[in-house]
Amino acid sequence: MGDFMDRLQKVIANSGVASRRKAEELISQGKVSVNGEVITELGTKVSEKDEILVNGIAINREEKVYYLLNKPREVISSAHDEHNRKTVVDLIDEDKRIYPVGRLDYDTTGLIILTNDGELTNLLTHPSNEIDKVYVAKIKGTLTPSEIMALKKGVVIDGFKTSKSKVKVKSIDKKNDTSIVEIIIHEGKNHQVKKMFEAVNHEVLKLKRERIGFLDLTGLNSGEYRKLNHKEVSKLYEMTK
Ligand code: URA
């Protein structure tokens, strides 16, 4: 803390914008400024308070943190809420500015990742990735075989056809006319799971995300969270390739 000084190229490399060697090049080429002054000398010492720009853009000097939260109902998945409702960020004791990766609805529960790593966020939320997102829905009624087939093949929601999904009926409650259904999708459009069931005329009464890729909710009760370890973070990066 305080006035800890570090070499400029190391600080740039740690921010993730360039490798150490590339950072040295950028400095020599006059593309780096510290507190508004161009610095070309390698090894210049900088403190935590110095503002460093690379190609005119401030580097992010914060250490990256990663959390897995079991989101309760009635919590909003954003960093701020205009109506002052409780957010997922409020549930985590962390001073750094973290935000959720993707969204779960206000009334949806389950697994959500929070981080301050913009690169990983972009990779995970990019539509081209094929990472399994496993949801368990309690729905009104019972799915017919043709409805299950339609969900698996893809249904049209908001003019967009969902990609292939996996659907498994876990149980049926005849008395209350409800079913528990597991559905595995890769995309994350707004209210996607609810809209998919709506497309086959079944209302979703309850929804929980149980897994993203290899990450599940083992050991986390509702409202509880834990940090991801280095291995899990590298595995997430791997999965997005
Ligand atoms: N699909 C939904 O409909 N809601 C969620 O919160 C997540 C996926």
Residue 141 lies in a domain: yes
Co-location of 85 and 105 in the same domain: yes
Question: Is 12 domain-assigned?
Answer: yes
Domain containing 39 equals 6-58
Q: Is 105 in the pocket of ligand 1 (CB under 6 A)?
A: yes
Residue 114 lies in a domain: yes
Residue 72 inside a domain? The answer is yes
Does residue 126 fall inside a structural domain? no
**Residues contacting 174, CB < 8 A, separation 6+:** none
Q: In this structure, what CATH number is given to the domain that contains residue 16?
A: 3.10.290.10
The 10 Å CB-count burial string (b at 16+, else e) for 200-218 is bebebeebbbbbbbebebe
Q: Whose CA is nearest to atom 7 of ligand 1?
A: 104
Do 95 and 54 share a domain, yes or no?
A: no
Q: pTM to 2 decimals?
A: 0.81
Q: Which are the catalytic amino acids?
A: 105
pLDDT of 16-30, one tens digit each?
A: 787 778 899 999 999
Answer yes or no: do 76 and 186 share one domain.
no
Q: What is the pLDDT of residues 29-70, one digit of tens each?
A: 999 999 999 999 998 999 988 999 999 999 988 888 999 999
Enumerate helices (H) and strands (E) in the chain, giving the number of each: 6, 17
Q: Relative to the CA of 108, which ligand 1 atom is closest?
A: 6
Within this chain, do residues 49 and 92 fall inside the same structural domain, yes or no? no
147 and 204 share one domain: yes
Which one-letter amino acid corresponds to residue 151?
L
**Residue 152's CATH number:** 3.30.70.1560
User: Which 8-state DSSP code applies to residue 23?
Assistant: H
Q: Is the CB of 192 under 6 A from ligand 1?
A: yes
On whether both 137 and 205 belong to a single domain, the answer is yes
Q: Do 72 and 53 share a domain, yes or no? A: no
Q: How many domains would you assign to the chain?
A: 3
Q: What is the pLDDT along the chain (241 residues), one digit of tens a residue?
A: 445 788 999 888 777 787 778 899 999 999 999 999 999 999 899 998 899 999 999 998 888 899 999 999 999 998 888 898 999 999 999 999 899 999 999 999 999 999 988 778 888 988 788 899 999 999 999 999 999 999 999 999 999 999 999 999 999 999 999 999 999 999 989 999 999 999 999 999 999 999 999 999 999 999 999 999 999 999 999 998 7
- CA atoms lying within 13 Å on the CB side of residue 241: 5
Q: Which of 16, 35, 58 is the last residue of a domain?
A: 58
**Ligand 1 centre and the CA of 229: distance in Å?**
26
The answer to whether residue 127 is domain-embedded is: no
Compute, in angstroms, the gap from residue 109 CA to the centroid of ligand 1: 9
Ligand 1, atom 3, residue with closest C-alpha: 191
Q: Residue 194 Cα, ligand 1 centroid: separation in angstroms?
A: 6
Rounded to the nearest whole angstrom, what is the distance from the C-alpha of residue 89 to the centroid of ligand 1?
A: 18
Q: Is the CB of 109 under 6 A from ligand 1?
A: no
Is residue 222 domain-shared with residue 115, that is, in the same domain?
Answer: yes
Residue 1 within any structural domain of the chain: no
Could you tell which of 191, 202, 209 is best to mutate to test the pocket of ligand 1, judged by most ligand atoms within 8 Å of the CB? 191
pLDDT of residue 12: 86
Largest CA distance in the chain: 76
